[in-house]
Amino acid sequence: KNQVEQSPQSLIILEGKNCTLQCNYTVSPFSNLRWYKQDTGRGPVSLTIMTFSENTKSNGRYTATLDADTKQSSLHITASQLSDSASYICVVSALGPSGTYKYIFGTGTRLKVLA
Amino acid sequence: SAVISQKPSRDICQRGTSLTIQCQVDSQVTMMFWYRQQPGQSLTLIATANQGSEATYESGFVIDKFPISRPNLTFSTLTVSNMSPEDSSIYLCSVEDLRGGTEAFFGQGTRLTVV
């Protein structure tokens, strides 16, 4: 069964600190893995997207890693800011038999950054 | 990137009534999707809106409850029919343009409360 599990479920950190969010998946056949940031009351916004051959990708203070062998990904946030408070969602896409993509969403990590 | 305008942004509706949510994209896109995000949960795909043909529904979602239209490549509607309090949720439109890669974009969502 295709699944995406994220940890921790929630996290509270102080402003300026770093943190790492985890994503484990059992999705086949794997196409790509994305990290989204979702502010409260808003739609998700893409942070990174990685294919099978990519190990790491950065977007400003956000760095995502992917280990396709262990089927794990992480999102590292450096020097956190208050505006980083949001839910972070890991999404893995699989290529279906009909040639269309299917997206499997993790339940997200709710990050709260305190001043 | 694609800019998505989704409306209404929120609504409070009486049980038994129906609400139609609109999704307008600023460019022609290949794929349009409708998601539901229940409180504290991640996104669940309702259906893929197909241009010129009937939508493709995921398990647990039916056309009578969630009729979808997609008259062209830039516009789609989702109707939540005969609403009950269990339909209270955030409904999100998402688009993906395979011609531009595999990036997916989300609307800001419609927060529906059924009383």
Nearest to B42 among A45, A101, A108 (CB): A108
Query: Phi and psi of B50, rounded to 5°?
Result: -100, 130
* Chain B contact probe: residue of A4, A45, A48, A103 with most B CBs at under 10 A: A103
Instruction: Give percent above pLDDT 70 in chain A.
Output: 98
Contacts of A39 (CB under 8 A, 6+ apart): A45, A86
Give the mean pLDDT of chain B: 90
Task: Give tens-digit pLDDT for A79-92.
Answer: 999 999 999 999 99
B102–A41 CB contact, under 8 Å: no
The rounded distance, in Å, linking the Cα atoms of B77 and B59 is 20
The rounded distance, in Å, linking the Cα atoms of B74 and B28 is 5
Of residues A113 and A93, the one with the higher pLDDT is A113
Task: Give tens-digit pLDDT for A6-33.
Answer: 999 999 999 999 999 999 999 888 888 9
A49–B106 CB contact, under 8 Å: no
Of residues A23 and A97, the one with the higher pLDDT is A23
B45–A106 CB contact, under 8 Å: no
Nearest to A49 among B45, B102, B109 (CB): B102
Task: Give tens-digit pLDDT for B72-100.
Answer: 999 999 999 999 999 999 999 999 865 54
Q: Which two tokens stand for residue A9?
A: 């479920």
Query: Which pLDDT score is estimated for B100?
Result: 47
Contact A32, A49 (CB under 8 A): yes
Task: Give tens-digit pLDDT for B23-67.
Answer: 999 988 878 999 999 987 888 999 999 888 889 899 899 999 999
Task: Give tens-digit pLDDT for B56-74.
Answer: 899 899 999 999 999 999 9
